[in-house]
Amino acid sequence: MPTPIHGARLSVAGYDEAAIVAHLHAHGVRVGGIGSRYGARGEGPSIYCFDPEGNMIELKGPPHAG
């Protein structure tokens, strides 16, 4: 039996929140929270979604300027 992961984080080049969410919804992906979160490169946009086994995946955009 596979062991669930606690989550994966992916940096997305060309981050376009509306396009990403539309694509995920079109493919039946469950989308969780959307917002600005702090990460390794600073505060920036983020989308949480879930794989078919319920593992959380964070899609992270570039850090906010400033």
Q: What is the band of 22 on the pLDDT scale with cuts at 50, 70, 90? A: very high
What is the rounded CA–CA span in Å between residue 29 and residue 53? 11
CA-atom Rg of the chain in angstroms = 12
pTM score of the predicted model: 0.84
Residue 61: name the closest of 49, 46, 42 by CA: 46
Burial of 23 (0-12, 13-18, 19+ CB in 10 A): exposed
Q: What pLDDT does 4 receive? A: 59
